[in-house]
Amino acid sequence: MSGAAATEPLLVLEHATKSFGAVHALEDGFIELYPGEVHGLVGENGAGKSTLVKILAGVHRPDTGRLLIDGTEAIFDNAKQSQHAGIAIIFQEPTLFPDLSVAENIFIGSQPLKAGHRIDHRKMRRDTAELFDRLGVRMDPDRPARGLSIADQQLVEIAKALTADARVIVMDEPTAALTISEVARLFGITRTLRDHGAAVLFVSHRLEEIFDLCQRVTVMRDGRHVLTKPIEELTTASIIRAMVGRDMDALFPKENAERGGPVLRVERLTREGVFTDVSFDVHAGEIVALAGLVGAGRSEVARAIFGIDKADAGAVSVHGRRLRNGSPTGAMRAGVGLVPEDRRQQGLIMDLSIQGNIALASLGRVQKAGLIPFGAERRFASDWVTRLQLKYGKLTNPAWTLSGGNQQKVVLAKWLARRPTVLIVDEPTRGIDVGTKAEVHRLLSDLAGQGVAVLMISSELPEVLGMADRIIVLFEGRITGEFARGQVDEDGIMRAATGTLEEQAA
C-alpha cells in the first residue's frame, strides 16, 4: 500500500470564497490532495463541502482564491476544463443519461473515433467491457442506464472517471444509498484507484467510513477550513468536536417514556413480491425501528401502512379502528403521519415557501370558508419554526433555500402540526449533519414522551440501537428478527438483516 503521501501535492485549493447573493457558501476553503491518498472531507450540512466540490468540478467559479494543479495555477470556467485537468466527480446524485446506453454514458464527449470523426461504436463497447472487467463488475455495456440501481449508477460514474484517466476523483457522499455489500465493493475499488496513484477526495457523513478508508481528513465548518490531519491523530469525538465546534456526548438521546397501549397495529400485511406476512404493534410512547438492508421492503411497508400502496392482504388499525386499504387520506384522518425518505421529491414542495410547506398538511385548520386568509400560514408556521429551532432567512423563502437538516425539520413540522398519534419516519437523518441529527433525535424522543407512537426506518445501526425501544428486522420482505432495546448489538441486527439468523437457528 502506498499510504505514505508523495512530496508534491496534486491539487491545492486555497483561500477559496464563494457567495450566492447574500449567502456566503464558502469563506475560506482549503483542500490539498496528494497522489495515492484517500482524503476524507467532513463537515455539517452548510459547511461548504458541496460548494468546494462544485468548484473542483468547474460548476462554480470561486470569487477569490487559487487552485493549483501540479503546482500551476488553474481556473475552471466549466466542467470540461475540470475534466481536462484530470478531475472526475462522482456526485451524490448520479448524473447519468437514462436513455443512453451504459457505454455511451461512460464515453459521452470522449467517444473513441475512427476516420472522419465518426464514433467507433465497437471499440466503445469493447473498452466499456474492459473497464467493467477491471472493476470486477458484470454489466451489459449496451443496456440503457434507465433502471440501474444507484450502486450500479455509481459504478458507471467510476468507470467514467477511469476512462478519463482521472488523477483526482471526488466522491460526494457516494455511500448514502448503498447496501453494506455495495459499500464494501466501492471501498475495494477506491483502494485500487488509490494504489494506482490517484488522489481520492471522499465526502461522507459516516465517520466510521472515514476511519475505514481515509489516510487524511479535512474538517470544514461554516464555510471555513478547520483542520487537516492524518487519520491516526483523530478520533470520532475529535472530528465531531471540530465539525460542530463543541462537544457532543449524547448523539442518540432517546429517553425512557411511559409505554401506553398499542396504537398502531399491523396484522399479516402482505404486498405480493414486496413483503409478506408483516405483523407488529407500536405502542404509545414507543419508538419502534424497522431495520434491514436497502431493498428489504422497509419503506414499502411504511407506504402500505400509510395507504400510498395498496396491500394485497392483511390489515392496519389505529386505536383498534381499521384503516381503509390504499387511502392516505384515511390514514391521515386516523392520525398517521409519514415523513418520507426522499424529502426533496416526496417530503417537500421545493419551490413552495417554508410556511406554505409547514401548513400544507393542515390547510383544513388554516382555511376560512375555503380560502386561506392573508398571514394565516405565517402565524401557523412561526410557532413551529421556533419550537424546532429552524435556521432560515424568511418564512416566505422557498424550501430549497434551506440546508438538508433544516428541510427535514420543515417536513417534521408539517406533520407535527397535525398532532399525529402515529408518526412514521423514513430515514429521518439521512444526509443530515451531526448537530441537526441530534436535534431530530431529541425531537423524536420528545414526541414519544408525549405519547406518540413512532415507527422509524433507519439504515444507520447506531441510530437504531440508540433510539429504538424495539427493533424489527426485515429481510427480503419478511420479519427475521425482533429485539428489545439492549437485547441486541450491531452484529445481531446484521445477522437478521442478511437472513443468516434463521439459518443458524434452523
Partner 1 sequence: MSARAETATVGAARGAGRSRQLAEAIFRFRELGIVLALGLVVGVTTIHNSNFLSSTSIQQLLSGAAIIAMLAIGETIVIITRNVDLSIGSILGISAYAVGVTFENHPHIWIPFVFLIGLAIGVACGIVNGAITTIARVPSLVVTLGTLYVIRGIDARWAGGHQVGAASLPNSFTNIGYGTFLGIPYLGYAAIVAVAIATYAMRTFRTSRDFYAIGSNPDAARLAGIPVDRRLFLAFVLSGGIAGVAGAFWLSLYGSVDAIAGQGYEFQVIAAVVVGGVAIFGGSGTVLGAALGALLLNTIDSALVVLNVSSSWSSAIAGALLLGAIALDRLVSVRIAPALRTGTRRSTRG
Name the nearest CA neighbour of 93 among 197, 29, 174. Answer: 174
- Minimum Å gap between C-beta 143 and partner 1 is 4
Where in 269-328 is the site for partner 1 (CB under 8 A)? none
Q: Determine, following the binding rule CB under 8 A, whether residue 100 of this chain makes contact with partner 1.
A: yes
Phi, psi of 37 (to 5 degrees): -130, 150
* Exposure letters 170-192 (e unless 16+ CB within 10 A, then b): bbbbbbbbbbeebbebbbebbee
Question: What letter does residue 362 receive in the DSSP assignment?
Answer: G
> Quick one: which segment of 33-41, 75-83, 323-331, 398-406 binds partner 1 (CB under 8 A)?
75-83
Where in 104-143 is the site for partner 1 (CB under 8 A)? 104, 108-109, 111, 113, 117-119, 121, 137-140, 142-143
230 in Cβ contact with 38 (< 8 Å)? no
Where in 187-226 is the site for partner 1 (CB under 8 A)? none
Question: C-alpha dihedral over 468, 289, 490, 275, to 10 degrees?
Answer: 170
Q: Which is nearer to partner 1, 79 or 248 (CB)?
A: 79
Among 17, 45, 50, 82, the residue binding partner 1 under the rule CB under 8 A is 82
Strand pairing class (336-339; 199-203): unpaired
Question: C-alpha dihedral over 161, 164, 165, 171, to 10 degrees?
Answer: -20
Residues 6+ apart with CB under 8 A from 414: 357, 358, 359, 360, 361, 362
Q: Determine, following the binding rule CB under 8 A, whether residue 98 of this chain makes contact with partner 1.
A: yes
Q: Per-residue x/- marks for partner 1, 34-73, CB under 8 A?
A: -----------------------xxx--------------
Q: Determine, following the binding rule CB under 8 A, whether residue 163 of this chain makes contact with partner 1.
A: no
Q: Please tell me whether residue 492 adopts helix, strand or coil conformation.
A: helix
- Minimum Å gap between C-beta 374 and partner 1 is 32
Cα–Cα distance for residue pair 204/227, rounded to 1 Å: 16
Q: Which is nearer to partner 1, 161 or 323 (CB)?
A: 161
Q: Determine, following the binding rule CB under 8 A, whether residue 83 of this chain makes contact with partner 1.
A: yes
Q: Determine, following the binding rule CB under 8 A, whether residue 152 of this chain makes contact with partner 1.
A: yes
Q: Which is nearer to partner 1, 147 or 370 (CB)?
A: 147
Size of the residue set binding partner 1 (CB under 8 A)? 41
Q: Determine, following the binding rule CB under 8 A, whether residue 96 of this chain makes contact with partner 1.
A: yes
Q: Determine, following the binding rule CB under 8 A, whether residue 415 of this chain makes contact with partner 1.
A: no
Residues 6+ apart with CB under 8 A from 328: 306, 307, 308, 338
Among 15, 61, 66, 80, the residue binding partner 1 under the rule CB under 8 A is 80
Task: Give the dihedral sign, CA 193/195/201/207.
Answer: positive
Q: Please tell me whether residue 72 adopts helix, strand or coil conformation.
A: strand
- Minimum Å gap between C-beta 109 and partner 1 is 6
Q: Give the three cell numbers for residue 424.
A: 412514521
Among 151, 161, 201, 464, the residue binding partner 1 under the rule CB under 8 A is 151
- Minimum Å gap between C-beta 440 and partner 1 is 29
Among 61, 66, 134, 146, the residue binding partner 1 under the rule CB under 8 A is 146
Through-space distance between the first and last CA atoms of the chain, rounded to whole angstroms: 42
- Minimum Å gap between C-beta 410 and partner 1 is 24
Judged by the rule CB under 8 A, the positions of this chain that interact with partner 1 are 57-59, 78-83, 89, 91, 95-101, 104, 108-109, 111, 113, 117-119, 121, 137-140, 142-144, 146-149, 151-152, 182
